[in-house]
Structure 1
Amino acid sequence: MDHRTLIILLSLNLLTASVPVKRGAKATCNSCHATEDGKINIHLVPHSHDDVGWLKTVDQYYYGSGVANTQQDAGVQYIIASAVEALKSHPERRFIQVETAFFWKWWQNQNDRVKQDVVDLVNNGQLEIINGAWSMNDEAASHYHSTIDQYTWGFRILNETLGECARPKFGWQIDPFGHSREQASILAQLGFQGLVVGRIDYRDKEKRRENGNLDLLWHASANLENSEIFTTMFPDLYVSESGFCFDIICSDRSIIDDEESPEYNLKEKVEQFAQKMDTYVNYYSTSNLLIPMGGDFHYQAAEINFSNLDKLIKGFKNHKKYNVFYSTPSCYIEAVNKELIKNSKELIEKTDDFFPYASDNHSFWTGYFTSRPTSKRYERQANNVLQSAKQLAAFSKVNGQNFDQHLVALRAAVGVMQHHDAITGTEKQAVANDYARILTKALRELEAPVGIIIGNLLQKNSPVSLNLTTCLLANVSICQESQQDKFLVVVQNPLSRIVTHYVRLPVDGKSYKIIGPEGEETYDIFDTIHSFDYVEEDTKPSSNELVFAAKNLPPLGLKLYYVQKLNTTTTSYKPFKEVKSDDAYFGTETNGFTIDTETGKLVSITIRGNNLELTQNFFYYTGFKGSNGGSENRASGAYIFRPTQTEALPFTTQPITFKSARGSLVDQVIQIYNYELTQIIRVYKGAEDAYVEFDWLVGHLQNVEQKGKEVITRFTVDNFTNSGVFYTDSNGREQIKRELNTRNDYEYDFMEEPVASNYYPVTSKIVIKDENRSLEVAVLNDRAQGGSSLSDGSIELMVHRSCSRDDSFGVEEVLNERQYGLGIYVRGQHFLTFGTTEFDVENGTSTPAFERDLAQKKLLAPWILVADASDEKLDTLEKVQNLLHFQFEGLTRQLPNNVHILTFEPWRDDTYILRLEHFLEKDEDAKLSQAVTIDLEGLFASFNISDIVETTLGANQLLDDYNNEEKLIWNGIVRTPLAKLDPDNLLQIELGPMQIRTFIVKVAKK
């Protein structure tokens, strides 16, 4: 079979929708009303903004249940049904559908007649599918991996239900609180033609209005070609114009067009609307204006809205200045592009992002970068589990066992968590609890099938089902399975290279025997970070923690360990002991840290034999109390960070208690500040462990003078000059340069909020550089947080927030989480490393390349699963060895240190998604930042790739089809065809810096 036949067959398999409806005549997909030369063309975009949880839960919003009268009268099932009905007999009307999570919930309950109506409306361009992701994701706290996944899953549902015309081509990010460059880059890689953004700094917005620059061209990547994406925004927010909100939840006067009626007001309404347009006419680069007609949960009775808009449009018929009509974002972008080319005009260009967002001079939306830190961590864990589970399900499918359906709930749950009122922490507490319920349910439902999959992958002679579980409460020292006398540990490595991972599990004993694939393993047992005596669970927290190194985990592979508690007086337990004055250094000669034996505080760290004087401490800001009202009274709350002081306060002025414990694998020092704060500083003793770990537990925060408490950790390097410049990651991908008190696109008075205005989202890493010393220091985190460098040599990250007031942006609830009867405790880790900014010949890789590798290991950590081994079939080592292999290898060789398999998952029918990513930027390493070619031939241990086609990033369009599509040209930039497969070497994949390539493959078992 030649490659052309292969592509045709696979494209049919990939893109054919499986819905019980007829396609009918050839679809037009996009049907735009005509614009008029010489007039201002007003594009009315009917829409409903449907939050996937906020004041009510996902189900409450969908069904229209919950405390409607006091929160939101909203029922998404009625919105979709009502909009469809209102469109059917009025071909001139338009509507856009955004959130696939809600659409899929609705679609499953419709009969074939209604489904056919929807397909017809999509095919004729009346119902335009916009964005298409599972939810409208946040752009600060979301990681790019989860963002790509939730778009991919949304696209698959749309493809299988509605077909080709439902393939989204336009981004619709109208409500996230600031906008990231990486989000725009992802949309460009998805093949989107443009993007509508919503919230940008009010000063930025005003300047763009004045200069007519609400349309712009965004260069979304410093590394990738074809990263430009047309971007636009509304004159104001995404809601209908004041006086023109006709929804049942609005109070504006309806339009009466009967001239015989004493209520007649059409002429008045037309004049009123025209006056508003007179204000907006100079905001845009062309004679086209983008005007939203909708809002939060509008169109529950869609005919009311549409009927009034019909009359408004009728009233502008033959108007001298304005041509008013129903439109969609796709129609708007085509009109703008046509006019710009006709008039040889160019758009203003942008290369950075839209952070931080401020809605007024004291309202910087930088608090949500940290709000609800336990939710942010839980989402990150769930995503890591999802990647591992998808790999395992793929390997199982190769072996003839299909567990695809068991992935659906977790795919959807992680997709929901990306929503801009979910991972942001800006929802009500009851909704946050429901998000946790959704994630927990999905994770638990996955455990039984994963136990079967792993048992089969490790089986020797016959299938073995393992009762495996993920220890979701290990952070509070609870894991019922590892607290038994005998248990199994399975470690799955989701990365494409060999990894050594330190397994940490709660245990009740002090002496164990651990047997793995290479025989008996060395281990340590330490005191836990806290007694966790406040935790109310059926299983009590353990006082000890077992640590062992799962060494050389095979790429995309498994290792099995048998652990047995020993009844012996010999112990490997290392209790925390007093630190001796002459014994302040911990670690190895290569990597370690030193503490001050008087104070117990960090004074220096050593990485790769180089010493750096550096301190770390905790501080806090008190949040402004404020009150309901204008910006001067704005309180610090779920969205807003507004400290009452410019200098953070020491967390405690009292001496801290500190002790140390030294083990075979790790050294650590525990610092107990008070009942609110405890931290362990540790260093692992492996040669590759060139970092120091900070394991902190912060909670039960006490308000200070009823002002709230917002806790930060701060690292300060002596004699370090970064001149107000620091770098933060964009959703875990490219680094963006930040400059203290500076904006690239507008001026602002930083003295109004000197701290909050300099906070940026840190999804995976923050870096400072001293160019004179050729030195950079990086702190990596385990969840999204707000961070900054407010003075030379300093890095601070906010770890926890407890507020005393609501910030009056809609939640109407104080951010003050509680759990087990106390203010919620948050546990997390930071990872600090440093090195030269120059290429390090001796160590082979640059400091940034090491940071990238470390970020991958921490953000996609191996999945630890545990099973009680007291069952008769598994209660001895010999029985386990007779039943199971102790290792499974997914790949025959590891990939280079700059590339990994971003996604490997079962897809439709007998296909799989395979994504490869080059995760270094152009200038990060002299060698590893170069293009690399990956040979897929023989890469996988259990199968060969028999067929392969390349798609766009979302796996919903063949790359050849995308390359052959006519592209809109902006500012004279002609898009070059994206790299595609070499027909003579289909399995030779070349990747440049930051490039992601997506493939649909078929496989043949070896």
Structure 2
Amino acid sequence: MRLRYSSMVFGVAVCLATLVLLYQVLSLPGETISPGEQKEILSLESRLHRLESNIQSNQHTISEIKALVKQLSKTNARANSILGTQFGARPNKFSRNGIGSVGLEGSQGQAGRGGVSGLRHINNLTHASVMADDCVFSVTAPPPADVQMEKVYELLKFDNPDGGAWKQGWDIEYSPVQWTPERKLRVFVMPHSHNDPGWIKTLDQYYHDQTRHILDHMVEKLPLDERRKFIWAEISYLSMWWDKQPETVREKVRRLVERGQLEIVTGGWVMSDEANTHYFAMLEQMMEGHEWLKLNVGVKPNNGWANDPFGLSPTLAYLLKRMGLENMVIQRAHYSIKKHLAKERSLEFRWRQDWDPGTTTEILAQLMPFYSYDVPHTCGPDPKVCCQFDFGRLPGSGITCPWRVPPQPINEHNVHSRAMLLLDQYRRKAQLFRTNTLLVPLGDDFRYARAEEWDQQFTNYQRLFDYFNSHSDLHVEAQFGTLADYFRALREEAEGGTGGTEEQPFFPSLSGDFFTYADRDDHYWSGYYTSRPFYKSMDRLLEGYLRGAEVIFSLALASQNAPGNSPPAGMAEPLMARLVAARRNLALFQHHDGITGTGKDHVVTDYALRLVRSVDDCQHIIQQSAHYLLSIDQRAYKGSPETVYYELGEKFTEHTQPPSRMVLGLQEGVVVTAVVYNSIPHRRVQLLTVRTSSPYVQIAGPKDIPIPCQIDPVLLKWGEAASTMYDVTFLVDIPGLSLASYNIHAMNPDKLKKDLVTYGQVLVSGHNTPSFPSVFTVEELKGDEPILLEGGQLTATFGSHGLLQSVVSQGRQMNVKLEFIKYGVKKHRETSGAYLFLPDKEAEVVPGSGDGMIVVKGPLRSSLTTQHKYVLHSVYLANSPGVDGLSLEVHNVVDVTPERNIELGMRLSSDVDNGGTFYTDLNGFQIIKRVRHDKLPLQGNYYPVASQAFIQDQQSRLSLLSAQPVGGSSLKAGQLEVMMDRRLSQDDNRGLGQGVLDNVPTPNVFRVLLEPRLFPKESSAGQGMPPAFPSLLSHATSHSLLYPLYLLLPTDKTGAVQPHWNITGELPCDVHLVTLRTMLQFPHSTIPLAKETPSTSQSSIHSPSPLNSLILHRLGFDCAFKSPGLSCSTNGGKVRLSDLFPSVFGERVHQMSLSMLYEGVDMTKSYTLSLQPMEVYALQLSRS
């Protein structure tokens, strides 16, 4: 088909008219363009771009559509054949409701990387090229949810009146006549056992003492009566138990699952924390659990269960939805919020993402209404009554009721009175919900470990159920049930005559999160955002290494399968064993008593040893894979899986100390080739530092072309500089997903080229300053004048105590004052501990130290280091054309060990006029708006900061990006503060039974980013405001902290290798490669979970399958800021895998749910995927 000539003329005329109009609008002075006009401009540019594209591509349109329709017909037929009724009955799993919308374009040519730029740049930096279409998402307000948590916070008083039996609620009343034979109360009592993989005991101790007995009894007791039900969540424990069971017992478990007596809920390796965790690790631990279930039990979880995490994040709700789960139950939210939602009968809601332009991210959720998930707080509002129906507390059991009224065994003499007492609680609880379908959890921590408890609970409750069900005049049906049973009945009622055709009009939608959690009074659980920060930092370090190992191992395996290559014998399995062990150790630490820092000291040590071992394993995988990829002839490769060909640039020697930088030993006249690994699919231009034993070196890049370097002294600690170690810094340019080599020449000092080698100029002040090697010129700082440090794109001014005073960035000057602060603790019975933050008053500023300063200046980087009380503080400025040249890097080594009951933070005070509004991230995945409320105590205004926080006004945004999770807030206009460590002498009465006194000197790494706005921001007072997003520069800066370049130093085993390797393809600026994960081969083998390492375990052999999971995230970003330092572009979310992986992986690609359980669209590598902003996608690749 062709366009008629008249239509073509008309199209050109419209195009010209639009161009004239657009020119007139853009000719207006920049200062006068309002946000609304800016939005109109973006819309006009978008329509113009589409019109031009339509005209240019018209000749090919029909043929492409025909090809696409033909392919989609095949796709649907195949999906139906694989999934059967799943595909038809549950389209949500494969539409945007399920695994995200992936548009397919049948064109086989090159995907566009450019486009109409919506930005104008005035400096000589490289900038990202941003399509105007890609800016529309961030300025478009999504439809508001029925319940917006931000509005709820504005509404509530956050008082705490005594509600009677339900202390945090009210006296619930009901009328017995509201239930009829047609409208019965349906009660599902759900037995469960909450098994923490580490808390008071370690994982192994809990398993041997309690968990294995629970699972043994489960297999024995459930088959005795098909009416019995049970749920299980923690796959880490289930896998440990499973490995020790004969096949007959395993088959019993499978039958229990098939019959619906046992439900696996959520299916993660652990029940993860939701505040400190990064979404990469949340996804990893879920994938590990779901993969294990798929290979061993053959089940796909459908319901989420989060009864214990200390606050809830919509990020996990999103991930569960995109994994194919349909429902979830949550528990720990602020008691005032519970009360409010209960009064509105909105405890069951459709949890939606803030940024969702529709309803595709919604997942049906229930927030449990009462104080806890134990039996006294689940049957109804009166815990004194409910505790009498916890038959695990019968006299002689060793557990009692605090209200001193014990349970009674049910018999024919008391069944009526006991049943009516319990039914009263059920009826009262039912008043808080919109349906007559009621969930009553029956369990607690490590319950059902005794065979007697199984008998006591099931036998006594069955007698009560039999009484209820045999007395029709009570209008109640009661039974044991799982979450699947409950939500099935709930949806049936909601979708019936009373609830419309589906749950959407029946249950309200809700957006926002449930932080910060308070369980009573002013007891806000904002302390654990920072507790044990050393291990939180270690977590992020392992995440980076694990992701890097996943990617390069997958690429190495794919390269082995390239035409003409064959996999080296015996290489893959040992490395896969290390990889799976690292996955599981990282997954274990995501537990809500792991990364939170809320375990006993010896439990923390157990976690730390696992993390250190896994960092070492990941480093080993990286260097092994790199050596294979760099080998001159991969077909003849004869490597050994245990050989160390490269040492990575850092190494742990103790689990209580930061990793030590590796020192490259040099001999004059010898050239050492270091390899740099870039694990992200974007080009990186940045400074890199190598630590050497000699100060007489020159650096050569590709083709051995010399490049400038700067040599600086190494400060071991305050007052001591190294005499035989030097930091050599130079600029590298590394393509995405590549290995590149740089030659380090050890030189005779007389032969150094002075124009290529510069020694940092050292300036010192104060006392106790170290002596430096003679190659450095050392001068005294003069007087109390401000100190000025300059990078290529930044200028920073520091005061007399060496603390930041002001910053000039991208032409914008701002006062930014950095200071250290400390909090004390309340002197009451309830005080700060591992969980709670209960400060005695506002923070005190820690006085500046008189110990002096050390300033190092040079052409590539400059730094200032000063010793303050509790903190060795350093700031670095990079003269780099890349992302690292656009922010200040702050290093704080915090040591609070000499003190007791102290919480130490860092505060930035600036000119930003943010009022009471600030922004924090949720799990590194999304940004959420926070409002400081005077009606909340200070600790209630503290929120988790997983990777960044920022404040902004009409002109600027000030961001603090963090390499580790922390707690933070903006307690006054212009301020941002984060907590860095806390040392507390006492327990806070939340079950841990100890304070936090195992502190060690802890590194905290941040980047301070100041960004001027291209156009003013709309006032936040208006309705329907779009959510906030980081800039592209902020995303890239965060990735540089979390996923740095990795340095590989050769050993005597390295041998002859190629100078570089890369896959040649890259992704658009706004598409992040979350992971490229090698899947396990069936059947599943044992991986060690105890103390043994994979290299010594006899049962650790694993075979990687030929399949890989590729996870992509299209980032949401704010176009109101420039994107300097980047050399990529955006293109409407278009990705063609044949461009990214032209020479590796097979042609067939399957779209999958995020944990790879459900299969969606079948396609080829050459198709163009259209990724939607903020969505995460899973694609299954084959190596052949």
Question: TM-score, structure 1 length as denominator?
Answer: 0.84
Shift of 1:135: 0.5
When residues 605 and 922 of structure 1 are mapped into structure 2, their CA distance, relative to the original with a 3 A threshold, is: closer
1:789 partner amino acid = S
Deviates more, 1:437-446 or 1:362-371: 437-446
When residues 477 and 958 of structure 1 are mapped into structure 2, their CA distance, relative to the original with a 3 A threshold, is: closer
SS at match of 1:285: coil
CA offset digits 1:449-476 (Å, max 9, x no partner): 4433221111114546543344234985
Where does residue 432 of structure 1 map in the other structure?
A: 604
* In 1: Cα distance, 2:786 partner to 2:702 partner: 37
CA offset digits 1:669-703 (Å, max 9, x no partner): 112113x2111111110023211111111103443
Where does residue 1126 of structure 2 map in the other structure?
A: none
**Whose RCO is larger (CA < 8 A, sep 6+)?**
2
Deviates more, 1:500-509 or 1:397-406: 500-509
* In 1: Cα distance, 2:1118 partner to 2:253 partner: 45
Shift of 1:162: 1.3
When residues 435 and 735 of structure 1 are mapped into structure 2, their CA distance, relative to the original with a 3 A threshold, is: same
Shift of 1:304: 3.6
Tell me if the contact between 1:920 and 1:929 (Cα under 8 Å) persists in the aligned partners. Answer: no
CA offset digits 1:469-507 (Å, max 9, x no partner): 442349857345536768664322111101134444554
Where does residue 406 of structure 1 map in the other structure?
A: 578
Tell me if the contact between 1:527 and 1:575 (Cα under 8 Å) persists in the aligned partners. Answer: no
Where does residue 380 of structure 1 map in the other structure?
A: 540
Where does residue 933 of structure 1 map in the other structure?
A: 1134
1:194 partner amino acid = N
Where does residue 1058 of structure 2 map in the other structure?
A: 885
2:424 partner amino acid = Q
When residues 549 and 293 of structure 1 are mapped into structure 2, their CA distance, relative to the original with a 3 A threshold, is: farther
* In 1: Cα distance, 2:211 partner to 2:939 partner: 36
Where does residue 586 of structure 1 map in the other structure?
A: 789
Q: Find out whether 1:638 has 2:851 as its counterpart.
A: no
* In 2: Cα distance, 1:812 partner to 1:897 partner: 48
Shift of 1:11: 10
Deviates more, 1:551-560 or 1:803-812: 551-560
Shift of 1:12: 10
Tell me if the contact between 2:691 and 2:728 (Cα under 8 Å) persists in the aligned partners. Answer: no
SS at match of 1:176: coil
Where does residue 263 of structure 2 map in the other structure?
A: 128
Shift of 1:361: 2.1
Q: Find out whether 1:324 has 2:478 as its counterpart.
A: yes
Q: How does 1:240-259 map to 2 (within 5 A)?
A: 240-241=375-376, 242-247=387-392, 250-251=399-400, 256-259=409-412
When residues 513 and 557 of structure 1 are mapped into structure 2, their CA distance, relative to the original with a 3 A threshold, is: same
Shift of 1:583: 7.7
CA offset digits 1:516-548 (Å, max 9, x no partner): 4353444333344542899xxxxx988745243
SS at match of 2:1037: helix
* In 2: Cα distance, 1:404 partner to 1:199 partner: 37
2:493 partner amino acid = E
* In 1: Cα distance, 2:1118 partner to 2:476 partner: 48
Where does residue 741 of structure 2 map in the other structure?
A: 560
Deviates more, 1:830-839 or 1:50-59: 830-839
Q: Which of 585, 606, 614 is 1:442 aligned to?
A: 614
Tell me if the contact between 1:178 and 1:199 (Cα under 8 Å) persists in the aligned partners. Answer: yes
Shift of 1:54: 0.7
Where does residue 27 of structure 1 map in the other structure?
A: none
CA offset digits 1:51-84 (Å, max 9, x no partner): 11111111111111xxxxxxxxxx1111112112
* In 1: Cα distance, 2:787 partner to 2:1140 partner: 47
Where does residue 1143 of structure 2 map in the other structure?
A: 942
Shift of 1:616: 0.7
> Could you list the runs of 5+ residues in structure 2 that have no partner in the other structure?
1-69, 85-179, 377-386, 500-504, 561-566, 765-780, 1017-1028, 1081-1104, 1124-1128
Q: Find out whether 1:758 has 2:941 as its counterpart.
A: yes
Where does residue 274 of structure 1 map in the other structure?
A: 423
SS at match of 1:910: strand
Q: Find out whether 1:775 has 2:971 as its counterpart.
A: no
Q: Find out whether 1:993 has 2:1148 as its counterpart.
A: no
Tell me if the contact between 2:275 and 2:313 (Cα under 8 Å) persists in the aligned partners. Answer: yes
CA offset digits 1:940-972 (Å, max 9, x no partner): 25325311111111111112xxxxxxxxxxxxx
1:100 partner amino acid = I
1:291 partner amino acid = V
Where does residue 624 of structure 1 map in the other structure?
A: 826
Where does residue 659 of structure 1 map in the other structure?
A: 854
Q: Find out whether 1:957 has 2:1158 as its counterpart.
A: yes
Q: Which of 986, 992, 1002 is 2:1182 aligned to?
A: 1002
Percent of aligned positions that are identical: 24
Deviates more, 1:316-325 or 1:35-44: 35-44
When residues 984 and 645 of structure 1 are mapped into structure 2, their CA distance, relative to the original with a 3 A threshold, is: closer
Where does residue 56 of structure 2 map in the other structure?
A: none
Deviates more, 1:497-506 or 1:183-192: 497-506
* In 1: Cα distance, 2:1030 partner to 2:222 partner: 57
Tell me if the contact between 1:782 and 1:830 (Cα under 8 Å) persists in the aligned partners. Answer: yes
When residues 583 and 565 of structure 1 are mapped into structure 2, their CA distance, relative to the original with a 3 A threshold, is: farther
* In 1: Cα distance, 2:722 partner to 2:875 partner: 21
Q: Find out whether 1:607 has 2:814 as its counterpart.
A: no
* In 2: Cα distance, 1:914 partner to 1:575 partner: 47
Where does residue 188 of structure 1 map in the other structure?
A: 321
SS at match of 2:859: coil
Q: Find out whether 1:492 has 2:691 as its counterpart.
A: no
Q: Which of 370, 374, 385 is 1:239 aligned to?
A: 374
Where does residue 968 of structure 1 map in the other structure?
A: none
Deviates more, 1:724-733 or 1:854-863: 854-863
Tell me if the contact between 1:219 and 1:349 (Cα under 8 Å) persists in the aligned partners. Answer: yes
* In 2: Cα distance, 1:456 partner to 1:687 partner: 32
* In 2: Cα distance, 1:894 partner to 1:567 partner: 41
CA offset digits 1:376-431 (Å, max 9, x no partner): 11111111111111112112212035343331101101110111110111111111
Where does residue 920 of structure 1 map in the other structure?
A: 1116
CA offset digits 1:244-263 (Å, max 9, x no partner): 2233563465653444xxxx
Shift of 1:273: 1.7
Q: Find out whether 1:717 has 2:887 as its counterpart.
A: no
Where does residue 491 of structure 2 map in the other structure?
A: 337
Shift of 1:3: 7.8
When residues 431 and 565 of structure 1 are mapped into structure 2, their CA distance, relative to the original with a 3 A threshold, is: farther
SS at match of 1:192: coil
Tell me if the contact between 2:791 and 2:862 (Cα under 8 Å) persists in the aligned partners. Answer: no
* In 2: Cα distance, 1:328 partner to 1:197 partner: 15
When residues 448 and 455 of structure 1 are mapped into structure 2, their CA distance, relative to the original with a 3 A threshold, is: same
Q: How does 1:381-396 map to 2 (within 5 A)?
A: 381-396=541-556
Shift of 1:730: 1.2
Tell me if the contact between 2:806 and 2:813 (Cα under 8 Å) persists in the aligned partners. Answer: yes
Tell me if the contact between 1:255 and 1:312 (Cα under 8 Å) persists in the aligned partners. Answer: no
* In 1: Cα distance, 2:391 partner to 2:593 partner: 26
Count of residue pairs brought into register by the alignment: 899
Shift of 1:661: 0.2
Higher-Rg member (1/2)? 2
CA offset digits 1:848-907 (Å, max 9, x no partner): 22111211222222233434x3x3x66xxxxx5xx11121103x1321111122221222
SS at match of 1:423: coil
SS at match of 1:433: helix
Where does residue 152 of structure 1 map in the other structure?
A: 287
When residues 766 and 449 of structure 1 are mapped into structure 2, their CA distance, relative to the original with a 3 A threshold, is: closer
Tell me if the contact between 2:353 and 2:361 (Cα under 8 Å) persists in the aligned partners. Answer: yes
Q: Which of 416, 420, 439 is 2:592 aligned to?
A: 420
When residues 391 and 943 of structure 1 are mapped into structure 2, their CA distance, relative to the original with a 3 A threshold, is: same
Shift of 1:295: 0.7
Where does residue 684 of structure 1 map in the other structure?
A: 878
Q: Which of 848, 851, 861 is 2:1034 aligned to?
A: 851
* In 2: Cα distance, 1:14 partner to 1:330 partner: 20
When residues 524 and 60 of structure 1 are mapped into structure 2, their CA distance, relative to the original with a 3 A threshold, is: farther
CA offset digits 1:352-382 (Å, max 9, x no partner): 1101101122210001111111111111111
* In 2: Cα distance, 1:14 partner to 1:108 partner: 30
Where does residue 472 of structure 1 map in the other structure?
A: 651
When residues 511 and 131 of structure 1 are mapped into structure 2, their CA distance, relative to the original with a 3 A threshold, is: same
Question: TM-score, structure 2 length as denominator?
Answer: 0.72
1:591 partner amino acid = L
2:682 partner amino acid = R
SS at match of 2:581: helix
Tell me if the contact between 2:465 and 2:479 (Cα under 8 Å) persists in the aligned partners. Answer: yes
